[in-house]
Structure 1
């Protein structure tokens, strides 16, 4: 019986080695490649056609494929037969739950036990979705209405920029620092964007952005 082919991607070598060791303890799995960047990951997917990809959520510094939702969305579209498992430090349940809406097959937190990866890949190998104990059920809803593109088009460039950073997992304070704006200004721009998109909570805003492929 052929082994399940796995590709591992993380920008930290010690993490890559750790994941590889854990996965290959199970003789059913074979790590056929490791990547240190999104570009390397995409190339391995093209060359190896892996059954499972285990990838970090944040791998900055790649201008071609980016990271976060942009990279994950690309993987899911271009390699639909490959199941994607996210291994991340991210702990924002709004974003984690939305990753499932996007189509990932599982999420494992780096803050937990690395051996959880073995449980996750076993779950994926059996064709199921892996949801760790850290995950809470979340509604998969897209803001209703008949003019979604019109709402998106009404966003200003600065509001769009704030949303892009919000979807990547940054807080209002982090976004303010990143964009060199005041927290008050960023907060006002986020609220204005929510009003234009007709959403009334962070969960609804995040889900709208993901389901509408706003940053793909």
Structure 2
């Protein structure tokens, strides 16, 4: 009988994190790290030829394709349904975490939790379960406590608002999500209507209250908080 192992691919664009995951996999005898990729494009291309059981993916990974964040997880669910997903998350808004879960099945591990939770999540996902690390669960519980029915945004509306609050222009959002500009504008308008806001200043304030507090945006030069910069201003990197 062959040795039991969970074939895992890892997508993360920080070399230090890659080295750390290689160490974790080496210490956890059942995890076989069969591929490491630095961009969404590398991961997508590799899955045409690499057999794996689990995809361990950084939600915030950026790279050479239009497909990142929720769009990448949606692609994995649709095109590689047999592959379990473990998403690594940092300071993402709680509504983003909930949106990932709404896509179905993914386990979520906060980068600020102990690394052992990564191993637990991989085993849980391999067995068909879903694991939420302690900080992820706490963030979701806090969101549920302050949630309001009218704030129930769709997965795509959340992604559009997240990018918009990060200072990404509507045209660029449309390109990144492979959608028409009018479609993206309509999704933004729909989200604003559900949130009960009529302008960008109100949008930033309302979104911050729902857990988008890490967004890099302010509304047209009006400073509304230390976690939010000027809305409509081009993002500096």
The TM tier, using the shorter chain, reads 0.5 to 0.7
Tell me the residue number matched to 1:19. 21
Is residue 2:181 matched to residue 1:194?
A: no
* Aligned match for 2:44, one of 42, 50, 70: 42
Per the TM alignment, residue 116 of structure 1 is displaced from its structure 2 partner at its CA by 1.9
Aligned equivalents of 1:163, 1:29: Cα separation in 2: 33
Matches within 5 A, 1:70-81: 70-81=71-82
Per the TM alignment, residue 14 of structure 1 is displaced from its structure 2 partner at its CA by 1.1
TM-score when scaled to structure 1? 0.66
CA change 1:36–1:133 in 2 (3 A) is same
Is residue 2:124 matched to residue 1:127?
A: no
Aligned equivalents of 1:16, 1:78: Cα separation in 2: 25
Per the TM alignment, residue 85 of structure 1 is displaced from its structure 2 partner at its CA by 0.5
Tell me the residue number matched to 1:166. 161
Structure 2 SS opposite 1:69: helix
CA change 1:69–1:191 in 2 (3 A) is closer
Per the TM alignment, residue 190 of structure 1 is displaced from its structure 2 partner at its CA by 8.7
Per the TM alignment, residue 199 of structure 1 is displaced from its structure 2 partner at its CA by 5.9
Aligned equivalents of 1:71, 1:191: Cα separation in 2: 20
Per the TM alignment, residue 99 of structure 1 is displaced from its structure 2 partner at its CA by 0.5
Aligned equivalents of 2:81, 2:188: Cα separation in 1: 35
Structure 1 SS opposite 2:73: helix
TM-score when scaled to structure 2? 0.61
Per the TM alignment, residue 104 of structure 1 is displaced from its structure 2 partner at its CA by 4.2
Is residue 2:62 matched to residue 1:60?
A: yes
- After superposition, the CA RMSD in angstroms is 3.5
Tell me the residue number matched to 1:95. 96
5+ long unaligned stretches in structure 2: 171-185, 197-205, 211-237
Aligned equivalents of 2:24, 2:39: Cα separation in 1: 21
Tell me the residue number matched to 1:106. 107
Structure 1 SS opposite 2:47: helix
Instruction: With a CA cutoff of 8 Å and minimum separation of 6, indicate the structure with the bigger relative contact order.
Output: 1
Q: Say if 1:5 and 1:30, in contact at 8 Å, map to a contact too.
A: yes
Q: Which moved more, 1:22-31 or 1:34-43?
A: 22-31
Q: Say if 1:57 and 1:87, in contact at 8 Å, map to a contact too.
A: yes
In the alignment of these two chains, the number of paired residues is: 172
CA change 1:33–1:69 in 2 (3 A) is same
CA displacement 1:56-115 (0-9 Å, x = unmatched): 11222323x521111111111110000010112233111111101112421111122223
CA change 1:45–1:190 in 2 (3 A) is closer
Tell me the residue number matched to 2:231. none
5+ long unaligned stretches in structure 1: 145-151, 153-159, 181-188, 206-216
